[in-house]
Amino acid sequence: MFNGQYSINIISMTQKIIILDFGSQTTQLIGRRVRELDTFCEILPYNKFPKDDPSVIGVILSGSPYSVHDPEAFKVNLEQFVGRIPVLGICYGAQFISHTLGGKVEKADSREYGRANLQTVDTTNPLFKGFEQHSQVWMSHGDTITAIPSDFKVIGSTADVTNAAFASTTQPVWAVQFHPEVFHTLQGKQLLQNFVVDICGSRQEWSAASFVDSTVAELKAQLGQDRVILGLSGGVDSSVAAVLLNRAIGKNLTCIFVDHGMLRKNEFRQVMDDYKVLGLNVIGVDASEKFFADLAGVTDPEQKRKIIGRDFVEVFNAEAKKITDAKWLAQGTIYPDRIESLNITGKVIKSHHNVGGLPKEMHLQLCEPLKWLFKDEVRRVGRQLGMPEHLITRHPFPGPGLAVRILGDITPEKVRILQDADDIYIRGLRDYKVKLSGEEARKVLAAGVPAEMQDGEIEVSLYDQIWQAGVILLSTVRSVGVMGDERTYEHPVALRAVTSTDAMTADWAHLPYEFMAKVSNEIINKVRGVNRVCYDISSKPPATIEWE
């Protein structure tokens, strides 16, 4: 229990690495890499190190947008953990260690950014076990470490950075100026494995199976015979949360699925049918008229999200009040939801309707059994629970639905246009098969996509290669077209498809021209109101995955 809200205390079940976040854009990538080593990690603000927690086996200090010399720079008391447990500083973390313990950090003559090669590597040091000389690393910093503390020694250098990596000779402290968590540091995973497994002593017990067993046990112990209400969205996160809770408390779980009118085509009926197959106790509520009425004339994206979030709570609350003995509200909130909604500086990036807190009048405690998981981990848990593959591999879908894929105001007709176009696009992605081999095939199989290797190749759909896809209706724009002998003046749509592992970063998917031509023609020919199809080739960052 914390501030009246409940979450599964999975931290207590295993060892963990603490990642102290100093505001770096790649902090979450560090977490992902540690999880890939079957080791639980927790990302905390730089000033929230947990004292007297025996499960902490190591600490990683992240990068930061600040210089250690900035007045507003984030600082932490190193005495809390230095000398007690192993510590690894990355980029700003390395600079902070040097600056605090007696070294010297100065502004570089020019920003050191991009690929570099470690010219000298001390492979006798445990951090660099198995490393090759001249291994490629990725630099991204404006300051440089010109002197290290007196009890440290250099264990890695590049042509331009003498103190690219250094280690204490008296305490278990290591620091690297480069970023081992990013793809461009070719042996970054090896470095993190050396630290997490060999130096910190991780038993590598974090897995989907261990998560399911321990979480179900804790849910049973914590919830007992209490009744729990779960808000379902139809997506993989809330569906996995529902099945997990159903395994723990059975019929004491009541699920509520609210249709705000902006779901995909026929989605409400299809999802309700899926939930019946899963044996869930689900109440379906069609509240589309209310949502459309309250959204009328609203064009601002953040305002749309807030109205939908407010209305969802009102509709959900009205239905939940009928369950008079409920004590808990469960949600499918996952780690990226919480990270993206509020960053370390307290600035809201965008509103998520499922992380904004509970209405006081509901008097329910909050249960978020997936709140520590990334999306691919949620999918592994779903497979462990035996859920149907089409539910597990379903692409993420925004809580506000198609409302944030329609630029401008929302009307039932615009939603109809977008639903029809989106249905053609998603079905096309599912139906179009491609053959993969080598590294591409390995990545797809590693993500858990069910496919059999034959003659060194696998065959999968475009849908299964993509993290997220959808259509955006540019309803604030009209374009001239010709259909038959008639001039048209209708809306363009933009197709969006990205590849990612956790939605923190994403690249646009390089879809086959043949596929895009087929889908474009089908949308224009079959969807009334659309006469032009574009393709979005923006990556995240700088763009976001959704347009609003």
Residue 530's H or E segment, with its range, is strand 530-535
How many C-alpha atoms does 72 have within 13 Å on its Cβ side?
6
- 3-state SS record for 483-497: ECCEEEEEEEEEEEE
Yes or no: say if 371 and 335 are a contact pair by the CB < 8 Å rule.
yes
Yes or no: say if 67 and 86 are a contact pair by the CB < 8 Å rule.
no
Classified as helix, coil or strand, 165 is strand
Q: Which two tokens stand for residue 221?
A: 């112990």
Indicate the residue type of 64.
S
Indicate the residue type of 427.
R
Yes or no: say if 68 and 143 are a contact pair by the CB < 8 Å rule.
yes
Q: Which two tokens stand for residue 526?
A: 């079959």
Count of Cβ atoms closer than 10 Å to residue 124 Cβ: 8
DSSP structural state of residue 199? I
Alpha-carbon gap, residue 318 to 434, rounded angstroms: 47
Q: Which two tokens stand for residue 362?
A: 């509901």
Q: Which two tokens stand for residue 227?
A: 């009744």
Alpha-carbon gap, residue 258 to 391, rounded angstroms: 18
Beta bridge partners of 330: 230, 367
Close Cβ partners of 518 (under 8 Å, ≥ 6 residues apart) = 428
Residue labelled with tokens 């475009």: 462
Q: Which of 239, 229, 252, 259 is nearest to 364 (CA)?
A: 229
Residues serving a catalytic function are 91, 179, 181
Classified as helix, coil or strand, 196 is helix
DSSP line for 8-58: --GGGGS-EEEEEE-S-TTHHHHHHHHHHTT-EEEEEETT-PPTT-TTEEE
Alpha-carbon gap, residue 323 to 310, rounded angstroms: 20
Yes or no: say if 89 and 174 are a contact pair by the CB < 8 Å rule.
yes
440, with CB counted inside 10 A (0-12, 13-18, 19+), is middle
Distance linking the first and last C-alpha atoms of the chain: 34
